[in-house]
Structure 1
Amino acid sequence: MSDIMRPIGFDHLMTWILDEYRTKGTVFGEQRVVRCDPERAFPIFDERIETPFGMAAGPNTQLAQNLVAGYVCGARFFELKTVQKMDGAELSACVPKPCILASDEAYNCEWSTELTVPQAFAEYVKAWVACKLIAREFGFGDPDGFVFNMSVGYDYEGITTPKIDAYIEGMKDASDTEVFKEAIAWTRDHLDLFEVVDEAFVDSITPHVSASITESTLHGCPPAEIEKIATHLICEKGLNTYVKCNPTLLGYEFARTTLDGLGYDYVAFDDHHFVEDLQWADAVPMIERLRALCNERGLEFGVKLTNTFPVDVTRSELPSEEMYMSGRSLYPLSIALAAKIAERFDGTLRMSYSGGADAHNMADLVSAGIWPVTVATTILKPGGYERLSQIMGLLTELPGEAFTGADPERIAELADEAAHGDACRKPIKPLPERHIPGELPITDCFTAPCRHDCPIHQDIPGYLRAVDEGRYADALRIVLERNALPFMTGTLCPHHCTDACMRNYVDAHVLIREAKLEAAKRGFAAVAPALAATEKSSDRRVAIVGGGPAGLACACFLTRAGVPATIFERAESLGGVVRHVIPGFRIADEDIQKDIDLCLAYGAEVRCGVEVDSVDALKDEGFTDVVVATGAWAPAPQVLSEGGELDALEFLAQAKESPETLDLGTDVVVIGGGNTAMDVARAAKRIPGVENVRLVYRRNRRYMPAEEEELVFALEDGVEFMELLSPGKLHEGSLTCDVMALGAPDASGRRRPEPTGETVEVPATSVIVAVGEKVECGLFESAGVELTDRGIPAVSANLASNVEGVWVSGDARRGPATIVEAIADAAVVAASISGCDFNGQSAQNIDPEYGRALATRGDVAHDCGHCTPTRCLGCPTVCEACVEVCPNRANVAVRMPGMRQRQIVHVDGMCNECGNCAVFCPYSEGRPYKDKLTVFWGEEDFENSENEGFLEVDGGVKVRLDGQVAVFDPDDGDCGLPDGVRRTIQAVRRDYAYLLCR
């Protein structure tokens, strides 16, 4: 069953590696195989490591295949997963599943190996021998260029039990253990499988697996016991010893203040660990005594900083009460502790480092004298083990030399940068939902989440690839297929497509909107002249009331489809809110005009300066259909209980047309928290005479509806946010506001503001209200169009009203909305009237070169704002996130003949249901470890699982599908299996037989 890991034998491990590498060039699916320079190594523990980094004790160092995967990607220091007295089924029963959540900062509620201690020992020995063999056979590096470091916990009684003692002694010398002898014997018996490895090399493989250990005690372990354990490991076991030190040494106030200052105020913990854990006053003399003890015995001593930090489960993150935090939120604490230790010991104390290390800070850490550095969180994210290859590349210029000391001043600088810079800072607003709705298909699951989350389902990967290749005209043509306003959306779109971008998990989302604008600007000159009026192919004639984004887009789509259309606009020029209201610092008039030109290129007629007050009059003129796209121009109801207020749209229009006519005084207050409020506040800052602009909102900025970037722009412009205030009355230059507090979440998911009974006075010479405009309903009422209780038209799925031939689009049917939503409505209306399909470029999503998409995986960008190319991962061509993030390699991408994409199969015996693959699956209900076609290794596992999958049996394969079990011959095209499932099973049996473990 899938939560029980089945360690694979050494013979299977090696035949798998040899077969896969020679037939596919990969090892456990890892494509970026690293070859280290044997001449460049860092001395440690009388051993050598070719790179000063590796993998931390955790899920990635639990099984032999995990260690091998890390090795081939460049890891050379392995902190093996912790062993303790409680193990196997007893421990597994205490670990709730899923147990890993690494979507941003990471959390886990697993702490040591779920195998029995003897099983864990066997995994480490098998991996030790395997890495030696493949280093020599495939030239990956010096077979003696890596180090295994034991990790044991959690108290003296447990560490000194016969079980743990035997583990330690076996790791020190495995020569008399069955697993080592079996591995060596198998290799000798199968030398014919090797081309470079010979008997002499096999004889040279040392059984001394580990000469070092990390003491990992539980939080609250008394100082005397920590020292007692370390003394035992040093004096009785003769081991180079690191003692794990936790961020609790920094004190509660420091940790709380640091995390709060970086936006992690929602991370909950109290001071009990800080009170119960090792104290600084006790740690320093203990470290000095233990270091002296090691010096006396010729051993190395150091401290380990630090895998995790205990916090409370408050938002159902994991099914436990407490969890361990790691990743970028831990880095500011861990590096601060490193700085404190470096200063106290003048850089002479060795520090093994883990907390929050990744490609962004690895070179800085090592250059400052902090190494070895081990990682966990970063390789639990998409890219997985292959992220190690990038880290390796960042360290190639560092000289391999012995530890001579750390640099306290540089480490202090790193700590200051972490605490006050942006690298570890949490966004102002909560992370958006990053999954698309729906279940994960058993086959053919590849999709483009960005395209799904785009209201117009833009063919985003297609135009991104064209931009990357410099084909700007092609990119713009792809955009124009579904997007009539590329300049407006390339500048003003809230780009929710980026919420689901898989790059969010790697570094930051792809700059989709910016790439669209680049395509528009650089492709316009070639594309626009080629657009021409379309020959009329319809008897219908459409009047469009409103010349804003919705009306323009509707006219574009209709005339492109051959349906005559005329725009009626009451203003003297087209463009609606974008032209007349949105500030010029947001979008240039020439860009607005280019979009208008594109929309009119197919032959739409325009009548400006015409107020339409009757649908019947338009029908009398011969129009068969009327599309109302008038926007939301009606002001919101009065907000202040007393005093005058300005309407946001009226203010913005005046500020754009004639700012010199505005007299706002020195202190402007803007009421609201949406994008319009940000525009108002930023525009007000630019009005002559205004000194202060304050934005009043009844919740805090975390719950403002404005986009994150709009908040940032406003703050950069000097707008002051007055949070948790509800406006009351304006009197003699002062706005009285009720002070609010956040209560329980309301229906929107935001915490409800509740009055505290207190009031404050905010200076206000003018108040501008931006809390949501309303739809003008006069035209609808005169035509007999039914309205909802929100005062907007009631429409069908195709946006038809109850009145024959009357359609509604954009703000007129939604209330205040976005440009891209207006385009989406326009496309629906145009398709309904014309019968045209605006989906001609969807095939551009798939890259015909699979390898090119594959090459984009894994690397972390250091400057996402100025990256070329776009960093698009090409998700509809290759996703495989579930493969990359699985520590145990239990999800495998299977190449299918004649198909561009690979299919994903799940290997039941290698999975412990940690749940990490479900975190990163694009589908909201996707659980690859449950939903993908599963390979079973035995009848017991097959029967104890509900997964759909197959088991090799005599006479064929036993398959469970849709709850039904039967034996099939997948080579028979008419066997009754769905073709995708049948072909996947065929491919596994033919080309991936090592997955079957028979």
Structure 2
Amino acid sequence: MSDIMRPISIDALLDWVMQEYKKSGTIFGVRKFFKPEGDKQISLFNEKMETPIGPAAGPHTQLAQNIVASYLTGSRFFELKTVQILDGEDLPVAKPCISARDEGYNCEWSTELRVPQAFEEYVKGWFVLKLLAREFDLGDPDGFIFNMSVGYDLEGIKTPKIQKYIHEMQDAKATPIWAECVEAAKSRLNQFTRVDEDYINHISPKVSHSITLSTLHGTLPHEIEQIAVHLLDEQKLNTFIKCNPTLLGYEYARKTMDELGFDYMEFDDHHFTEDLQFEDAVPMLQRLQDLADKEQLNFGVKITNTFPVDVGQDELPSEEMYMSGRSLYPLSIMVAKRLSDAFHGELQISYSGGADVFNMKDLFEAGIWPITVATTLLKPGGYQRLTQMANVVSTLDYPTHVKVDLEKVSKLVEKSTETAKYQKSIKLPGSPKIKETVPLLSCYTAPCRGTGGCPIDQDIPAYLRYVEEGKYLDALKVIVDKNPLPFITGTICAHPCETKCTRQFYEGAIDIRGVKLEAAEHAYDELLASMVKPEPVTDAPKTAVVGGGPAGISAGYLLAREGFPVTVFEKDTTLGGVCSQVVPEFRISMESVQKDVEMARFMGAEFKTGQAAPSLEDLRAQGYEKVIYAIGAWKHNNLKLEAGEAINSLEFLVKTRQNTQENPYGENIVVIGGGNTAMDCARAAKQLPGVKEVSLVYRRDKRNMPADEEELYLALDDDVTFRELLAPIKLVDGKLTCEVMKLGARDASGRKRPEPTGEFVEVKADVVISAIGEKVDDTFFNSVGIETDNRGRVVVNPQTLETNLKDVFVVGDANLGPATIVEAIADSTKACNAIVEVHNRNYERANLNIDTASVRAKRGDMVIPENPMSQAARCLECSTVCESCVDVCPNRANIVVMVHDEPQIMHVDRMCNECGNCETFCPYSSAPYKDKFTLFNSEEDFHDSTNEGFYVVDPSRKLVLVRNKGEENTFSLIDGNVKVANGLQDMMETVIDDYAFVLAN
């Protein structure tokens, strides 16, 4: 496909707007329209705006449809995308050019259109907003402001192309595009209900009276001032000058980023030394303010322009990129403070860096406005996020003059360095994507339950919705249908589902595990009362399960539920494995574990404890035809020291779980390791009497520890001392000697390699606990003839988990190596399915029963203090409505097409510039702009692409040119000789019949 955007003509634009609204009540996918209450407005540039917010100069103001979507959702201040002398195809932009998963990065900075095309887009956008305001009664037709943005040097700005753009933006009446807009509007008077010819004739052609200057990094102060003088004195334009965080100096920026956890961002000091310096900026800005006052114009600064960082981890295909979003906020607000202090609050600040619904109220009440946003709109919810922002700001008192509250800005700076929102998590997150690729049709999916999400494919959205509705028993039925351990997994599951949760791109992932426990605690007794013990299946084979941990209990439950006889053997006196013997009581209680055991026992599973299981030969002799080994990974990796010895972490945890009141270890306990077991050891040691300090020694830093982030935070909360970048050498006389390490290049796992420095330190240590991992004891399996690989893991059939011995299966840690509880359940399910069909899809909740309007209503709304929401209610129910690729596309290039009442996603090629943003947020391991069925608006574009898709050659005959499964064919959809996969014909016919407005150019 091509990254060249094809702007929509004003005729096609108006047809699209009116016909889509008539068909579905939406416009460019926007479902909720913002309408201001009353006639409250704020003045700027001798103009009025109903809300002082809108899109920043960037992807959301590049095309007319983007501007329309922004207005409908609440924007009334539009900072148009920057124009410069280098434009169109001459502008080198590496693609993809946007990465906004958390903090934002981009390597594009000005319009990718030719300047005359950009001008036309802005005029079309202006004109359509005037029509929409009146036709849909969305507020004052004069209640919004367009603000130009130009760059990057005086020579370029003074060229005829840019000068013409500036002049015509101030008055577009004599331009061809203005005439086209007027003619197009008048030709559709019969479609309007509130717009008449007189209204059209009186639409003002004076599109913009203001400008924001953006200059390149390294531009000298005198040139910045010369450009501003030109804009103020010669062009008579209200002017903002963009200012960079480089004003703060390298040391401040580096220190701030490091302290907030963004230490992985790579940048040096060259921009800081080459850019405008603060001591030069203040007098220059004062001179320009004086000039603006003389000319009776508005003047101020735009914070912030860009913060350049190096591409260090292949974030984008360029050498340098520009950082934005929440990580930029602490720097930007400090720039605002320093400039406000210098000007005693009298300098107007147009603000963008990291603004969103969480800080917008504070910014505005501090006297900082207008406020523009970009990165937050690039995340799921998209433009609709603006509606919540507009609602927040429109309830506040609007000022009558510029005055920044210095005390409030100071508090914002303080808050920005203390609030968790602006701090990066200790662990850098893994991929939120599932392993599957996106299908051409019917792609809605809940990533929390997909591969890499929930290993047992629980219907998570279903039980979240049931809990939200207060139907706890229904929720628990959904859970236990596939998950025999609701209490154990509701308490200590590693919850990989939460790493895939789309809500993480709002204010944070849903506490899915916590909701599971909530359902279990509320409905357990009711569930037991309602459960029916299955009838035994005649002649069913007896199964022995060796090991009474999570995998063994699960296998017992699943087989018993099917009426199959099963006995679980556990050598310990208590069932639960690591959950009841190793994991500290403060993490999971014995009572919780035994509740899960009781469910399996109720179903008919027999449990034998307190002695080792019979040998395989004896089990066969006792009539057990099937044997499942679920014996866990109990073999300890030994830490070798040059002197002294470390004790076994598992033995330590077993003893401390049995008795937390006895401390034979001493005052200073050191734990070696960085995994979850190490965290458990450290936290358990802190509970022992007489302990003064517990140190956790690891050769990497926290960010590169393998432990779950939650476990790291719990250890920190318990005041465990983290001694990072240390490798243990020897333990002598109560002191552990460690070599200091440094982090080098990244290894295959993506973690930085620890490298020795030759420096040594000593750590007080009465005892050292080795928690450097566990493994499967392969000697047992080898002794009974079960084949293992060179890593000591059992060789199994991956579909059934059957070993080389017929009817002998291995599940859990013995199969996977040390794994999670939910992975153990998945293994047990797989093995049980090889013995009998496990009926565990009885409680899937059909999406047809869910009101999609209520689901869509959640999209774009963040959970803020003024609008609290339960964990269950926060679920976006992606399996019912996904559409993240629709939300996050600034250009609206991914659209929803209703085919036989089923929503399908179609990509529109001409509206896409391959920014790559939809790939970031699509839950599949795919890029919708490449992988979804694509509509082309010309044969040239069709052949310039490899996407599967179609071009409508002749709508009247439904003649289409189609690429599907690598083949290109031209045929009529009504001739019966259609050569496409099932469903695609219906989609193409639907587009031609019901969505003809997307075909016009």
Indicate the residue corresponding to 1:27 in structure 2: 27
Given that residues 695 and 720 in structure 2 are in contact (C-alpha distance below 8 angstroms), is that contact kept between their aligned partners in structure 1? yes
Q: How far apart, CA to CA, are the structure 2 residues paired with 1:812 and 1:175?
A: 77
SS at match of 2:886: helix
Kindly report which structure 2 residues correspond to 1:308-387, keeping only aligned pairs within 5 A, or say none.
308-387=306-385
Kindly report which structure 2 residues correspond to 1:127-206, keeping only aligned pairs within 5 A, or say none.
127-206=125-204
Q: How far apart, CA to CA, are the structure 1 residues paired with 2:849 and 2:413?
A: 43
Regions of 4+ moved over 4 Å: 843-847, 863-866, 971-974
Given that residues 313 and 321 in structure 1 are in contact (C-alpha distance below 8 angstroms), is that contact kept between their aligned partners in structure 2? yes
Q: How far apart, CA to CA, are the structure 2 residues paired with 1:404 and 1:930?
A: 47
Given that residues 37 and 50 in structure 1 are in contact (C-alpha distance below 8 angstroms), is that contact kept between their aligned partners in structure 2? no
Match of 2:967 among 948, 964, 969: 964
Q: How far apart, CA to CA, are the structure 1 residues paired with 2:848 and 2:651?
A: 46
The alpha-carbon deviation at position 962 of structure 1 amounts to 2.1
Indicate the residue corresponding to 1:876 in structure 2: 879
Shift in CA distance, 752/112, structure 1 to aligned 2, threshold 3 Å: same
SS at match of 2:376: helix
Equivalent residue letter for 1:909: R
Q: How far apart, CA to CA, are the structure 2 residues paired with 1:224 and 1:847?
A: 66
The alpha-carbon deviation at position 865 of structure 1 amounts to 10
Equivalent residue letter for 1:501: C
The alpha-carbon deviation at position 782 of structure 1 amounts to 3.2
In the alignment of these two chains, the number of paired residues is: 993
The alpha-carbon deviation at position 498 of structure 1 amounts to 1.2
Larger displacement relative to structure 2 (18-27 or 549-558): 18-27
Indicate the residue corresponding to 1:724 in structure 2: 725
Indicate the residue corresponding to 1:830 in structure 2: 832
Given that residues 664 and 765 in structure 1 are in contact (C-alpha distance below 8 angstroms), is that contact kept between their aligned partners in structure 2? yes
Larger displacement relative to structure 2 (199-208 or 393-402): 393-402
Kindly report which structure 2 residues correspond to 1:640-789, keeping only aligned pairs within 5 A, or say none.
640-777=641-778, 779-789=780-790
Given that residues 639 and 772 in structure 2 are in contact (C-alpha distance below 8 angstroms), is that contact kept between their aligned partners in structure 1? no
Indicate the residue corresponding to 1:508 in structure 2: 508
The alpha-carbon deviation at position 629 of structure 1 amounts to 1.3
Given that residues 137 and 197 in structure 1 are in contact (C-alpha distance below 8 angstroms), is that contact kept between their aligned partners in structure 2? yes
Q: Deviations over 1:200-244 (max 9, x none)?
A: 211221111101000111111110010100001001111110011
Indicate the residue corresponding to 2:629 in structure 1: 628
Indicate the residue corresponding to 1:304 in structure 2: 302
Given that residues 510 and 872 in structure 2 are in contact (C-alpha distance below 8 angstroms), is that contact kept between their aligned partners in structure 1? no
Given that residues 510 and 871 in structure 2 are in contact (C-alpha distance below 8 angstroms), is that contact kept between their aligned partners in structure 1? no
Q: Deviations over 1:133-177 (max 9, x none)?
A: 110010111000000000000000111111111111101111111
Q: How far apart, CA to CA, are the structure 1 residues paired with 2:751 and 2:198?
A: 68
Given that residues 135 and 142 in structure 1 are in contact (C-alpha distance below 8 angstroms), is that contact kept between their aligned partners in structure 2? yes
Structure 1 unmatched ranges of 5 or more: none
Equivalent residue letter for 2:329: Y
SS at match of 1:213: strand
Equivalent residue letter for 1:820: V
The answer as to 2:561 corresponding to 1:560 is yes
Structure 2 unmatched ranges of 5 or more: none
The alpha-carbon deviation at position 521 of structure 1 amounts to 0.9
SS at match of 1:758: strand
Match of 1:811 among 789, 798, 813: 813
The percentage of aligned residue pairs carrying the same residue is: 52
Q: How far apart, CA to CA, are the structure 2 residues paired with 1:391 and 1:180?
A: 32
Indicate the residue corresponding to 1:579 in structure 2: 580
Shift in CA distance, 965/884, structure 1 to aligned 2, threshold 3 Å: same
Equivalent residue letter for 1:890: A
Indicate the residue corresponding to 1:123 in structure 2: 121
Indicate the residue corresponding to 2:858 in structure 1: 856
Indicate the residue corresponding to 1:927 in structure 2: 927
Equivalent residue letter for 1:63: L
Shift in CA distance, 969/841, structure 1 to aligned 2, threshold 3 Å: farther
Match of 2:899 among 880, 884, 896: 896
The answer as to 2:414 corresponding to 1:411 is no
Shift in CA distance, 748/190, structure 1 to aligned 2, threshold 3 Å: closer
Q: How far apart, CA to CA, are the structure 1 residues paired with 2:691 and 2:211?
A: 65
Q: How far apart, CA to CA, are the structure 1 residues paired with 2:717 and 2:621?
A: 53
Given that residues 846 and 876 in structure 1 are in contact (C-alpha distance below 8 angstroms), is that contact kept between their aligned partners in structure 2? no
Q: Deviations over 1:863-902 (max 9, x none)?
A: 7997344311111111111111111111111112243xx1
Given that residues 550 and 577 in structure 2 are in contact (C-alpha distance below 8 angstroms), is that contact kept between their aligned partners in structure 1? yes
Q: Deviations over 1:670-706 (max 9, x none)?
A: 0111111101100100100001000011111111110
Given that residues 969 and 979 in structure 2 are in contact (C-alpha distance below 8 angstroms), is that contact kept between their aligned partners in structure 1? no
The alpha-carbon deviation at position 971 of structure 1 amounts to 4.5
Equivalent residue letter for 1:466: Y
The alpha-carbon deviation at position 740 of structure 1 amounts to 1.5
Kindly report which structure 2 residues correspond to 1:899-914, keeping only aligned pairs within 5 A, or say none.
899=902, 902-914=903-915
Shift in CA distance, 719/866, structure 1 to aligned 2, threshold 3 Å: farther
Given that residues 511 and 870 in structure 1 are in contact (C-alpha distance below 8 angstroms), is that contact kept between their aligned partners in structure 2? no
Equivalent residue letter for 1:12: A
Q: How far apart, CA to CA, are the structure 2 residues paired with 1:39 and 1:748?
A: 58
Equivalent residue letter for 1:147: I
Given that residues 970 and 983 in structure 1 are in contact (C-alpha distance below 8 angstroms), is that contact kept between their aligned partners in structure 2? no
Given that residues 462 and 845 in structure 1 are in contact (C-alpha distance below 8 angstroms), is that contact kept between their aligned partners in structure 2? no
Larger displacement relative to structure 2 (227-236 or 872-881): 872-881
The alpha-carbon deviation at position 38 of structure 1 amounts to 5.1
Kindly report which structure 2 residues correspond to 1:181-580, keeping only aligned pairs within 5 A, or say none.
181-452=179-450, 453-537=453-537, 538-580=539-581
Q: Deviations over 1:59-114 (max 9, x none)?
A: 110111100110000000000000111111211xx111111111111111111111
Q: How far apart, CA to CA, are the structure 2 residues paired with 1:865 and 1:179?
A: 47
Q: How far apart, CA to CA, are the structure 2 residues paired with 1:659 and 1:808?
A: 34
Q: How far apart, CA to CA, are the structure 2 residues paired with 1:78 and 1:513?
A: 42
The alpha-carbon deviation at position 436 of structure 1 amounts to 1.2
RMSD: 1.6
Q: How far apart, CA to CA, are the structure 2 residues paired with 1:190 and 1:203?
A: 14
The alpha-carbon deviation at position 983 of structure 1 amounts to 1.1
The alpha-carbon deviation at position 539 of structure 1 amounts to 2.5
The alpha-carbon deviation at position 742 of structure 1 amounts to 1.8
Given that residues 534 and 603 in structure 2 are in contact (C-alpha distance below 8 angstroms), is that contact kept between their aligned partners in structure 1? yes
What TM-score do you get using the length of structure 2 for normalisation?
A: 0.97
What TM-score do you get using the length of structure 1 for normalisation?
A: 0.97
Indicate the residue corresponding to 2:89 in structure 1: 89
SS at match of 1:803: coil
Indicate the residue corresponding to 1:6 in structure 2: 6
Indicate the residue corresponding to 1:799 in structure 2: 801
Given that residues 369 and 403 in structure 1 are in contact (C-alpha distance below 8 angstroms), is that contact kept between their aligned partners in structure 2? no
The answer as to 2:950 corresponding to 1:950 is yes
